[in-house]
Structure 1
Amino acid sequence: MLIITEDEVENLLAEGAMVDALIDAVAAAMADLSAGRVSLPPRSAALIDPVTVTGLLDMPAYVPSAKALTSKLVSVFPTNAGTAVPVRQAVIVVFDPEDGRPAALVESTHLTAMRTGACSALSARLLARPDASTLAVLGTGVQARAHALTVSRVRAFRELRLAGRSQEKASALARELEGQVPMPIRVCGSFEQAQDGADVVAAATYATEPVVRREWLAPGTHVSSVGYHPRGRELDDATVADALLVVESRAAALNAVPPNRDLADPLASGVITEDHVHAEIGELVAGTATGRTAADQLTLYKSVGVAVQDAAAAALVLRRVGGHVRAGS
């Protein structure tokens, strides 16, 4: 069995062409999901603390088009927030779909962040205005870094804005990203400042109170939101209510366990109904649903994460490393 380390994954995904390939791989997987071609059981959890959702998640998936049979194990430890240890750490086990042999173990903390960013990038590719020129990334952690690296690939952005709860951490992330993104970087003093006039807002925070607010968003903004806090929210009600809402999977978004409050709260209070979900992102990829219809339309992609993204990403990495996977080779 091949073991692919975190360093190998990070080095591989440092190449712009590989990031583009990852976005394309995730697009194909999302189209498969929406067309009903995948096997995606509900994730299971072994929780140390159900209140903080601390513990271990298991996320299996089979994606026939990529011939990827995988299971991701991800630990979630919210108490790691603000430390050198990521809140989420993961490995993906890849099996040969023809005879069931374990083919590879892929360290996947960085891969998880990048596949999440890749789907946000896909949402921007499909929903952001063609002339979008300013990208705002909210957050300072591994997901924020991944979003800067991925979302910046899909439009000719002329400025990247960064904002977080700590301006010191935002400045450190800006220094880390210098030379890795093809645009000037500006560290903003607040979330509101970062969103002022931004064309694309990529939120990747561990917020307890909304950091994306409707009154801060310009007409025609595209928002991607991947943040999750068991007792908090990243988006306010007005943003969710006013936006053309796209999700990865209706079932996953509306019935997430534990619930993602960015959608669960406005659903529970009657601000929106389940019919407010306009489309799955895979339907946009396949052309079975429409996206943006006006330049001033607010669009929103809300992610809860689905294992088909991990399967597609791991299969891509394994092919590029040269490991033996009948699937996708």
Structure 2
Amino acid sequence: MSLLVIDGATVRQILTYEACIPLMREAMIALSAGRTRQTLRQIIDMGDGDQFGVMPGAAEDTFGAKLISVFPRNFDRAMPSHQGVIALFDRESGAPVAVIQAGEVTAIRTAAASAAATDVLARPDAHVLALLGYGEQAERHAEALARVRPLSEVRVWGRSAERAAAFAGRMGARLPLPFRVCATAREAVEGADLICAVSGASEPILEGAWVDEGAHVNLVGSARAGPREADDDLVARARLFADHAESVRRQGGEWLHALASGRVGETHLLGEIGQVMAGDLPGRLSEADVTVYKSLGIVVQDLASGWFLYRQAQARGLGASVAF
């Protein structure tokens, strides 16, 4: 037996947005159709914001788990905040076949999933993007959303004006788009028709009153019960869709707070984005609707990305094969 080890550089080489966005679409459709299975993630809080998560699941071609650490302070060390491995097993024999660097996969597939959701929920003419946050996911979301909408401007807000300016300069050199630093989150959001909350905020940085009619919002930064990036007003206004309904009902910070406060009822969460992608559930009903995609990040996205990487690496002779 052999195990294929796929490092971060190989992930970046193979898992382009052009490949990953349709992969995420198919993965979300398969999840909502019941063709893939997963349990709720298990998260251990280790103090100082550090976390360790275990995410098991089974897809049609493979099964396995992602083991991931989240260390927010790595931003100050010029290191990725998400680090770990994805372990893949063969569906026919049950044998382990690959170990993949999880940080790069997580970064790419999270933004690709938001882009796929944006493509089915946002207005076709949406073109002004507001990013609340300036970390790795802000970078990836700017790159991914530019693949699904003709962006004309990207607005950036974060708690550190200096870091926001550095981010805007770096991204402006990378993408042929104007990046504008905003003094407040409200300034970034008002008038934007695409909004991505990709921060580590524990309390809301995005208020529903700021969001224009017709906007689409991706809530990405909070991945567990407790922390929330948006207030109850936004949740109550929105046509709200989950990456995975059970996970959001159990672990979605914005949803749980709005539900507990009485601002929404159980039926306000309309369903899963995979149902919209499959045509089984309507997404946007009018030009004026505010739509929200709540992303917790789910293991079937990692498994779909991982299996694609495994097959492509085999075909191209990439990765390191290790006797096992």
2:232 maps to a residue whose letter is D
- Displacement of 1:296 in angstroms is 1.1
Give a deviation string over 1:214-259, Cα, whole Å, max 9, x none: 1211110000011117653200110000000010121110012xxx
- Displacement of 1:156 in angstroms is 1.0
Q: What are the equivalent positions in structure 2 for 1:110-189 lying under 5 Å apart?
A: 110-189=104-183
Residue 311 of structure 1 aligns with which residue? 303
Rounded Cα–Cα distance in structure 1 between residues aligned with 2:78 and 2:174: 21
Rounded Cα–Cα distance in structure 2 between residues aligned with 1:108 and 1:174: 26
Residue 27 of structure 1 aligns with which residue? 25
Give a deviation string over 1:66-109, Cα, whole Å, max 9, x none: x1323100113345454423332121111221112222111121
Which residues of structure 2 form unaligned runs of 5+? Answer: 317-324
Alignment partner of 1:211 is 2:211: no
Residue 249 of structure 2 aligns with which residue? 254
Residue 320 of structure 2 aligns with which residue? none
2:294 to 302, 311, 314: 302
Rounded Cα–Cα distance in structure 2 between residues aligned with 1:96 and 1:128: 37
1:178 maps to a residue whose letter is G
Rounded Cα–Cα distance in structure 1 between residues aligned with 2:225 and 2:78: 21
User: Contact 1:53–1:230 (CA<8 Å) still a contact in 2?
Assistant: no
1:284 to 268, 276, 283: 276
Give a deviation string over 1:243-283, Cα, whole Å, max 9, x none: 00010121110012xxx321111111111112101121000
- Displacement of 1:203 in angstroms is 0.9
Rounded Cα–Cα distance in structure 2 between residues aligned with 1:301 and 1:95: 30
Alignment partner of 1:61 is 2:57: yes
User: Contact 1:250–1:280 (CA<8 Å) still a contact in 2?
Assistant: yes
- Displacement of 1:7 in angstroms is 2.2
Residue 232 of structure 2 aligns with which residue? 237
Which residues of structure 1 form unaligned runs of 5+? Answer: 325-329
Rounded Cα–Cα distance in structure 1 between residues aligned with 2:67 and 2:49: 15
User: Contact 2:225–2:256 (CA<8 Å) still a contact in 1?
Assistant: no
Count the aligned residue pairs: 314
2:260 to 239, 259, 268: 268
- Displacement of 1:10 in angstroms is 2.5
Which range moves more in the overlay, 78-87 or 26-35? 78-87
Please state whether the residue corresponding to 2:213 is helix, strand or coil.
coil
User: Contact 2:42–2:55 (CA<8 Å) still a contact in 1?
Assistant: yes
Please state whether the residue corresponding to 1:304 is helix, strand or coil.
coil
Rounded Cα–Cα distance in structure 1 between residues aligned with 2:221 and 2:233: 17
- Cα separation, partners in 2 of 1:323 and 1:255, compared to 1, 3 Å: farther
Identity of aligned residues (%): 38
Give a deviation string over 1:191-219, Cα, whole Å, max 9, x none: 11111211100110011331211121111
Please state whether the residue corresponding to 1:60 is helix, strand or coil.
strand
TM-score (norm 2): 0.90
RMSD over aligned Cα atoms: 2.1
Alignment partner of 1:224 is 2:222: no
Rounded Cα–Cα distance in structure 2 between residues aligned with 1:101 and 1:121: 33
TM-score (norm 1): 0.89
Rounded Cα–Cα distance in structure 2 between residues aligned with 1:231 and 1:97: 36
Residue 190 of structure 2 aligns with which residue? 196
- Cα separation, partners in 2 of 1:90 and 1:82, compared to 1, 3 Å: same
